[in-house]
Structure 1
């Protein structure tokens, strides 16, 4: 299976390391031998249709700052679109950073790959909150697979769980703690009684929060994930603007203390059901499945047959995201009977 990686930052490099680690496992269990034949970053690309040396690719990115410096085969200025159009790959991985405004460059990458007849796997929420239905319809029209398990919940296999094991169930509602940064902040506030600003600085020092934490603490990242889940599991045709969003900046020590006195905790919860899409701080009973600590994520589904199902796990990080990317790749391989 020949792979193209568009985006070779933390997620792209994490996935490449995962492939190195899992090569023997994939071959033994599935008879699958993945080859990275092209990698692209903001500065350029490297292409070798016989397969790139993954260790050398990672070494080049770390030491030179770009895959375009890969010995002899790297090329500065070569774009992802050019690579898609000219390289015969089986699967294109779209792993560029999320852009919630217009989904670019990921949106164009995905459209080009689908049009070229390539299966696509992405961790990028941007194209999904901008053009979810359009991309799925394109994939169906061109007869290719389009998978995005890694866009929500990291290692939590929520989309695959519903589409496979719960294929006979109708999902009525989804509730989730979907952002590790805000969950860490709220957990620390509850434990220490510290104000928001103090805990945010701590999270930034630990690199749990970004230097600009706006997307996390204002609830926008959670809203993106709610949008994807509503579209994928509830058959909505929603965009980010359809979500009613309240972040956690106004949550103070008084709120977390009062919550504890009533045997509750405060969580930033995303909700999707037939009536609304919403993100807001909510009281969650201590011991409830959504009462997860630190950077963990959790999701609870309400369905007609299985009733209520909850799942929790690590929702972010290159290794955790690679778990979902790898799962999507294996499913594509198995679906084709190769």
Structure 2
């Protein structure tokens, strides 16, 4: 039985609990995987049940503080220090400037010999090296798949492509940006209308600033570069531009040249960039809608491309669950 602490119970955290409940029999049959959630941390308190939270009843509540297991004013750091668990799952909000309080929570968990899994990318595009050092010291694993492309197994390729010698990475790494540009290109939508649709569909946050200014995508290419290329970079090292300057006129001019405007991230020759580029219509980067893509250029085997849905609560939760299962198979 793998025991979990979950930090953050918004769209992603709730989706994770829902998937683990609905797929309980499948996960046991296929992977021999059984789990229990011992704590769920939110901003104003935490649910704690060291014998395992009743997830089925919990998911019926709109406000989890209504649960009899609720302890007000209990922080995630408090919970990590008090509750024993095998894996800490971090899926709270992103602090783009410091990564806190998630960085401190993750370090505390690893210092208590917990493995960590995260969809919160802030700690990893700001302090990947620090976190990895703590993980290595404590001989625990860090699962970060959902920080990049949710359920798309981009980071898992580190082992599957280990013999290919990856030399550069590029990709379409933000579903909101790609959806907006696709709607403007294919349907003639205005930027504002396409952004509203992205919000309505759950691709964009209520405040989409980090998406449309390129910051979210830039954070992902930083993580990819550090993991695959062995760099020691933070998001402060990236040249970042967004999509707010893209107009209908620029879209139409690109189409006349048989090209699309795409928001592309690149890690190559020690440089990190995120910004719009003109992409040939027959390019592998010419994916549409909310699809994301990452392409690894290798020395020995050419390019390898991974494509899939990189936005949404269930998608991010699926990526988290993949990391949890992989850790459980290797460590328990």
Q: Structure 1 pair 202/17, CA: closer, same or farther in 2 (3 Å)?
A: closer
5+ long unaligned stretches in structure 1: none
Residues 214-254 of structure 1, C-alpha deviations (whole Å, 9 max, x = no match): 11111111111111111111111111111101111111112
Alignment partners' CA distance in 2, 1:144 and 1:223: 27
SS at match of 1:19: helix
2:148 to 122, 146, 152: 152
1:70 to 67, 71, 74: 67
Aligned to 1:88: 84
1:188 to 163, 167, 183: 183
Aligned to 2:322: 327
Alignment partners' CA distance in 2, 1:248 and 1:324: 27
Aligned to 1:231: 226
Alignment partners' CA distance in 1, 2:112 and 2:133: 15
Aligned to 2:110: 114
Is the CA contact 2:292–2:310 (under 8 Å) kept in the aligned structure 1? yes
Alignment partners' CA distance in 1, 2:120 and 2:291: 20
Residues 161-182 of structure 1, C-alpha deviations (whole Å, 9 max, x = no match): 2x22112222111111111111
SS at match of 2:308: strand
2:101 to 93, 98, 105: 105
Residues 56-75 of structure 1, C-alpha deviations (whole Å, 9 max, x = no match): 22223x1xx2x33312x211
Once the two structures are superposed, the pairs formed by residues 20-39 of structure 1 within 5 Å of their partners are 20-39=21-40
**RMSD (Å) for aligned C-alpha atoms:** 1.4
SS at match of 1:268: strand
Alignment partners' CA distance in 2, 1:322 and 1:208: 14
Q: Structure 1 pair 310/80, CA: closer, same or farther in 2 (3 Å)?
A: same
Alignment partners' CA distance in 1, 2:308 and 2:55: 28
Pair 1:251 & 2:252 matched: no
Is the CA contact 1:193–1:256 (under 8 Å) kept in the aligned structure 2? no
Is the CA contact 1:96–1:105 (under 8 Å) kept in the aligned structure 2? no
Is the CA contact 2:203–2:311 (under 8 Å) kept in the aligned structure 1? no
Residues 291-322 of structure 1, C-alpha deviations (whole Å, 9 max, x = no match): 11111111111011221011110001111112
Is the CA contact 2:202–2:312 (under 8 Å) kept in the aligned structure 1? no
Q: What TM-score does the superposition give when structure 1 sets the normalisation length?
A: 0.94
Alignment partners' CA distance in 1, 2:208 and 2:303: 33
Aligned to 1:203: 198
Is the CA contact 2:237–2:272 (under 8 Å) kept in the aligned structure 1? yes
Q: Structure 1 pair 28/202, CA: closer, same or farther in 2 (3 Å)?
A: closer
Alignment partners' CA distance in 1, 2:313 and 2:197: 22
